Amino acid sequence: MIVNGETRLCGLIGNPVSHTLSPFIHNTLSKRMTINTVYVPFQVEKNELSQAVAGAHALNVLGMNVTVPYKTDVIPYLDAIDPMAKGIGAVNTLVRTQNGYKGYNTDMTGLCRAMQTEGIRLNGEEIIILGAGGAARSVAYMCLYYKVSKIYLLNRTIEKAQNIADELNKEFQREAIIPMHLAEFDKIPTKKYLVIQGTSIGLHPDSEACVIEDPSFYQLAHTGYDLIYRPFKTRFMKLVEEAGGVSFNGLGMLLFQAIDAYELWNHLEISDEVAMETYELLKAETKKA
């Protein structure tokens, strides 16, 4: 990578950012595509977020990603927001416009794209989502946006699941989300579902933790999708496979949210070949940690 007078800057706003794999992904893509951009992380203090966004625009920064804890906080400082990101209520990608940045949520378009590469369909499907935090709500919104027919939303605190159900059922004008307590999974009709694990339970270093330990639950899963990618194979994924299902982790989502952002910034399309080459390099990099 040669940095010169024509190099464009992209980066990541968050706190902390030292653990991020985003520079690896984006700089790999630029090298593979021979595009003169460089991607770096920026740790931003909470009281300096507005200045960071304005300063990035003043410095002609091509695009930014946004990570925790700023995916919602950044919205007031944007010039525009994509309809899906507005509905989700979170932004992770900023695309430069003449007057500021437009916000997108490529976390969810990336998740959908990752699922498509694995042959997972959403349109018309009934699914199960574990959790009712911000990530689970975003996944529920994305699934309804892409026309799943029904969502069983399971959480330890039924009130949180109920709040998401009330909000999104109203938003999409159909009673698609059924909130349930985790212990009530045996009330779900016996058939096979896509099950999405949307909590932080099982995240390294607590790798053997799992939202639901009961093996009978996993008989409901034809596919398990865990948003976590460290460890590479979570306890949730192992239980899905032991019950005869197939499982995936969140590394594909991490890759494709970056690819979606990269495509928006550079007005191009990344081929399946380049995406899969980058995925293999990313997988190797992840396993080093």
What is the DSSP pairing of strand 246-248 with strand 177-181?
A: unpaired
Residue 190 CB neighbours (<10 A): 7
Provide, rounded to the nearest whole percent, the portion of the chain with pLDDT above 70: 100
Model confidence over 144-181: pLDDT tens digits?
A: 999 999 999 999 999 999 999 999 999 999 999 999 99
Chain mean pLDDT for the chain: 96
Residues of the chain with CATH 3.40.50.10860: 8-104+255-288
Residues identified as active-site: 71
Cβ(85)–Cβ(91) under 8 Å? yes
Amino acid identity of residue 262, one-letter, is Y
Q: What is the pLDDT of residues 191-233, one digit of tens each?
A: 999 999 999 999 888 889 999 999 999 999 999 999 999 999 9
The ranges of the chain annotated as CATH 3.40.50.720 are 109-249
Please state which CATH class domain 8-104+255-288 belongs to.
alpha beta
pLDDT exceeds 70 at position 289: no
Q: What is the pLDDT, as a whole number, of residue 288?
A: 76
pLDDT surpassing 90 at residue 247: yes
Residue 191: closest CA among 158, 162, 150, 225: 150
**CATH code of domain 109-249:** 3.40.50.720
pTM above 0.85, yes or no: yes
